[in-house]
């Protein structure tokens, strides 16, 4: 008898209960009692279908959620929407948010059993909800005591910087240097220095906090940084990757303080062409901590370092133009920020301004990341051993779907051609700039792309149209950057990556790619809670939005200002029978032929807000 092929890997379960392992779809009845994220052994049934044979590893030993009491039964409903099952518990904690440990997973059609290990507090309470997001995504809001102690000991030992350390480095303290960051930034991990050279070129230093000097391989601090992987930015707080004594003080490039940096220094002409490059350890002293707004005002109206900023800005614009010519895709979408009042209630929502100074910093960081990636790729042609930031080419099927979607919105692009480049995608996004449907198309384009990930195998970065790229510029908040610093420093000192170390790098790349997704999900969840809370205070108010989704049960509308998304049920669209037309991504009234299409601008009223389920109800006005 022919034995069927099996595959092992994590199962991802959608909101509708459909599972996926790799590219294989698993219908709800074939999932057994697997939970989203579990490692399963699946039996392949056809070219795109499979079924779960066995659960290899459970990945949710503890779950956070809201407790409900129903007749004579108490149960916890997980916050994670992909975990569909109610978990029976033995404590009637109605209205509380709790963490439970699973003691029995139950059969296919049984409820799992759980034991309450921690009561977080009242559901709906801001602090409780934020703690719950962090727990669900696998982040800890505090550091173990021994790790805090290790960080304090380093700070005591290394502050002020020992003289012998200063003398062993290239000295940039007398060269004009500044940082440019958001208003609310507490850690500054990159600075720019500027120096005019006798030959008319300029020397630009991109100075990055030398975290690898303080966080040594194999220490508890290193271990906890690897486990965390990233700093997480929720609406009201930052959960740093490193203890604050390092992230906000010792490693942070604060103004008027001597700091250790790892630098990429470029001699450039006025068109941004790199003539010489140098990588190495430095000591710097930042002359000024600019916010993006302050730096922009200095360029516009003349202020401190306005000449330096203006020259750097002009060069950055030329580098950007060249990148666009080479096919770099601009996926920049609006970012929502909140002003929180007492009880952390959102009193104001605004979209983050994208100034020239944001783009200036972005260009020099991309420049450093690109050149370090190229330098290490050349160095390791013979022996592998580096962490690249890669972005694979898009999947042909997903691109075909994007083509259908664009045609429905009235745009004609040939996405089926065999040699599609990033230039083709960039051309689409250029055409829709400023249109009502811009954010919608950008979101759809992002979804049709593969995700950028960390890897020891360099295949280039499709979205940026770079052949070489890495992450070198944020070691305070990203673990891969810290590793990149270590490898680069070892290479500059003639040390190579061993085969054991190479295997470890592959593992770190995988872990970091996964942690990055969790951090982004946590950030999105915290924003969504505040969007719903904001709209809950505006039930009855009218707003302008864009139709962001059409289904047989209703329309989804995204508010233009807050980016909050809500649903209009089909039955609330008026006294007509509305049907979904999948070809045109619209719903059409049978009698009136009234049509609501994806990308349409509409006026809507907020009719309901369920903060617990993070859902909004709208009605078209």
d(CA 472, CA 340): 33
How far CA 177 is from CA of 135, 191, 204, 317, in Å, comes to: 39, 7, 10, 20
Q: What SS3 state is found at 196?
A: strand
pLDDT of residue 466: 96
Q: Across 11-95, where does the E strand assignment appear?
A: 12-13, 19-21, 24-26, 39-44, 50-57, 62-70, 73-78, 87-89
- For residues 37 and 70, membership in a common domain is answered with no
Comparing 116-120, 295-299, 443-447, 612-616, the range with the smallest average pLDDT is 443-447
Q: What are phi and psi of 352, to 5 degrees?
A: -65, 130
Task: Kindly report whether the peptide bond that precedes residue 160 is cis, defined as omega within 30 degrees of 0.
Answer: yes
Treating both helix axes as pointing N-terminal to C-terminal, what angle do 220-228 and 479-492 enclose, rounded to 10 degrees?
130
- Could you tell me the two tokens for 224? 């906890």
Local confidence band at 418 (pLDDT 50, 70, 90 cut-offs): low
- Could you tell me the two tokens for 427? 């051309």
d(CA 50, CA 23): 10
- Best CA proximity match to 140, nearest among 245, 239, 220: 239
How far CA 413 is from CA of 332, 416, 600, in Å, comes to: 21, 9, 20
- For residues 310 and 239, membership in a common domain is answered with yes
Given a cut of 80, whether residue 414 has pLDDT beyond it is no
Residue 1 resides in a domain: no
Q: What is the mean pLDDT of residues 365-384?
A: 87
- Best CA proximity match to 306, nearest among 314, 297, 315: 297
The structure tokens 């075909």 sit at: 400
Q: Give the angle 567-570-575 at the CA atoms, nearest 5°.
A: 130
Residue 461 resides in a domain: no
Sheet holding 177-181, edge to edge: 170-171, 274-285, 258-268, 202-209, 190-196, 177-181, 288-291
Q: What are phi and psi of 228, to 5 degrees?
A: -75, -45
In 168-269, alpha helices (H) = 211-214, 220-228, 244
Residue 309 resides in a domain: yes
Q: What is the mean pLDDT of residues 599-605?
A: 94
Q: What are phi and psi of 253, to 5 degrees?
A: -80, 65
pLDDT of residue 417: 65
Q: What are phi and psi of 5, to 5 degrees?
A: -70, 140
Residue 114's CATH number: 2.40.50.700
Q: What is the mean pLDDT of residues 510-523?
A: 95
- Could you tell me the two tokens for 475? 């070691």
d(CA 417, CA 423): 13
Helix (H) or strand (E) holding 586: strand 586-589
**Full residue range of the structural domain in which residue 420 is found:** 393-449
Give the chain's end-to-end CA distance (angstroms, integer).
63
Task: Kindly report whether the peptide bond that precedes residue 92 is cis, defined as omega within 30 degrees of 0.
Answer: no
Q: What are phi and psi of 361, to 5 degrees?
A: -60, -45
Is residue 291 classed exposed, middle or buried when 0-12, 13-18 and 19+ CB atoms within 10 A define those classes?
A: middle
Q: What is the mean pLDDT of residues 528-544?
A: 96
In 390-467, alpha helices (H) = 396-408, 422-431, 438-448
Residue 137 resides in a domain: no
Comparing 215-229, 426-440, 507-521, the range with the smallest average pLDDT is 426-440
pLDDT of residue 150: 98
- For residues 559 and 604, membership in a common domain is answered with yes
d(CA 84, CA 484): 39
- For residues 473 and 575, membership in a common domain is answered with no
Treating both helix axes as pointing N-terminal to C-terminal, what angle do 220-228 and 145-158 enclose, rounded to 10 degrees?
120
Given a cut of 60, whether residue 359 has pLDDT beyond it is yes
Residue 333 resides in a domain: yes
Residue 21 resides in a domain: yes
Given a cut of 90, whether residue 488 has pLDDT beyond it is yes
d(CA 439, CA 95): 37
Q: What are phi and psi of 152, to 5 degrees?
A: -60, -40
The structure tokens 């249109």 sit at: 435
Residue 27's CATH number: 2.40.50.140
The total number of structural domains that make up the chain: 5
- For residues 224 and 318, membership in a common domain is answered with yes
Could you tell me how many residues make up the chain? 621
- Could you tell me the two tokens for 202? 């300029």
- For residues 547 and 582, membership in a common domain is answered with yes
- For residues 250 and 169, membership in a common domain is answered with yes
- For residues 483 and 520, membership in a common domain is answered with yes
Q: Are 141 and 134 in contact (CB under 8 A)?
A: yes
- For residues 288 and 420, membership in a common domain is answered with no
Q: Are 210 and 281 in contact (CB under 8 A)?
A: yes
Q: Are 293 and 286 in contact (CB under 8 A)?
A: no
Given a cut of 70, whether residue 159 has pLDDT beyond it is yes
- Best CA proximity match to 601, nearest among 435, 386, 390: 435
Contacts of 553 (CB under 8 A, 6+ apart): 569, 570
Q: pLDDT tens across 549-567, in order?
A: 999 999 999 999 999 999 9
Comparing 21-30, 281-290, 528-537, the range with the smallest average pLDDT is 21-30
- For residues 227 and 369, membership in a common domain is answered with yes
- For residues 361 and 403, membership in a common domain is answered with no
CA atoms within 13 A on the CB side of 609: 20
d(CA 456, CA 474): 19
Given a cut of 60, whether residue 460 has pLDDT beyond it is yes
Local confidence band at 445 (pLDDT 50, 70, 90 cut-offs): confident
pLDDT of residue 443: 84
d(CA 117, CA 158): 40
Residue 457 resides in a domain: no
Q: Give the angle 321-322-328 at the CA atoms, nearest 5°.
A: 85
Query: Pairing state of beta strands 274-285 and 170-171?
Result: parallel
Helix (H) or strand (E) holding 10: strand 6-10
Residue 421 resides in a domain: yes
Q: What is the mean pLDDT of residues 273-291?
A: 98
- For residues 77 and 156, membership in a common domain is answered with no
Helix (H) or strand (E) holding 399: helix 396-408
pLDDT of residue 2: 61
């Amino acid at each position: 008898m022919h034995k069927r092929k099996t595959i092992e890997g994590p199962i991802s379960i959608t909101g509708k209960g459909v599972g996926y392992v790799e590219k294989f779809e698993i219908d709800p009845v074939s999932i057994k009692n697997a939970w989203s994220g579990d490692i399963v052994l699946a039996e392949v049934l056809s070219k795109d279908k499979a079924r779960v044979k066995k659960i290899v590893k459970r990945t949710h030993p503890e779950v956070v959620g809201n407790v409900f009491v129903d007749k004579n039964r108490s149960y916890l409903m997980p916050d994670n929407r992909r975990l569909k099952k109610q978990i029976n518990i033995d404590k009637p904690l109605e209205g509380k948010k709790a963490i439970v440990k699973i003691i029995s997973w139950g059969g296919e059609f049984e409820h799992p059993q759980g034991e309450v290990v921690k009561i977080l507090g009242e559901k709906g309470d801001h602090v409780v909800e934020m703690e719950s997001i962090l727990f669900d995504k696998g982040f800890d809001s505090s550091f173990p005591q021994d790790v805090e102690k290790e960080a304090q000991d380093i700070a005591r030992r290394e502050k002020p910087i020992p003289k012998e350390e200063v003398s062993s480095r290239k000295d940039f303290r007398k060269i004009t240097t500044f940082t440019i960051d958001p208003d609310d930034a507490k850690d500054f991990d990159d600075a720019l220095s500027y120096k005019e050279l006798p030959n008319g070129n300029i020397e630009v230093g991109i100075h990055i906090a030398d975290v690898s000097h303080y966080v040594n391989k194999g220490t508890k601090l290193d271990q906890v940084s690897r486990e965390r992987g990233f700093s997480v930015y929720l609406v009201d707080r930052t959960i740093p990757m490193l203890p604050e004594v390092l992230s906000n003080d010792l490693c942070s490039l604060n103004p008027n303080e001597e700091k250790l940096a790892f630098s990429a220094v470029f001699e450039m002409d006025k068109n941004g062409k790199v003539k010489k490059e140098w990588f190495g350890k430095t000591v710097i002293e930042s002359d000024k901590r600019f916010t993006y707004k302050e730096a922009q005002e200095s360029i516009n109206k003349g202020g401190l370092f306005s000449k330096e900023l203006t020259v750097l800005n002009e060069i950055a614009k030329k580098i950007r133009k060249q990148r666009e010519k080479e096919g770099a895709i601009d996926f920049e979408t609006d970012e929502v920020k909140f002003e929180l009042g007492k009880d952390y209630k959102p009193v104001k929502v605004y979209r983050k301004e994208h100034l020239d100074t944001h783009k200036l910093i972005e260009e020099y960081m991309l420049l450093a990341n690109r050149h370090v990636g190229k330098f290490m790729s050349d160095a390791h042609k013979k022996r592998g051993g580096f962490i690249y930031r890669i972005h694979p080419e898009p999947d042909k099927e997903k691109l075909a779907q994007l083509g259908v979607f664009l045609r429905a919105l009235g745009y004609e692009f040939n996405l089926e051609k065999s040699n599609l480049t990033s230039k083709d995608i960039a051309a689409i996004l250029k055409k829709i700039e400023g249109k009502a449907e811009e954010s919608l198309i950008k979101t759809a384009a992002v979804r049709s792309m593969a995700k950028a990930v960390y890897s020891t195998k360099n295949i280039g970065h499709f979205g940026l149209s770079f052949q070489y790229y890495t992450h070198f510029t944020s070691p305070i908040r990203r673990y891969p950057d810290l590793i990149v610093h270590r490898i680069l420093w070892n290479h500059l000192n003639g040390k190579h990556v061993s085969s054991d170390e190479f295997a470890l790098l592959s593992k770190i790349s995988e872990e970091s790619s996964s942690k990055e997704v969790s951090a982004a999900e946590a950030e999105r969840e915290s924003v969504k809670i505040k969007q719903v809370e904001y709209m809950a205070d505006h039930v009855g108010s009218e707003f302008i939005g864009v139709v962001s989704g059409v289904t047989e049960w209703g329309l989804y509308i995204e508010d233009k200002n807050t980016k909050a998304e809500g649903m209009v049920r089909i039955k609330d669209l008026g006294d007509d029978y509305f049907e979904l037309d999948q070809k045109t991504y619209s719903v059409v009234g049978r009698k009136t032929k009234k049509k609501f299409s994806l990308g349409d601008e509409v006026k809507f009223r907020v009719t309901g807000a369920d903060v617990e389920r993070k859902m909004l109800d709208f009605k078209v006005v």
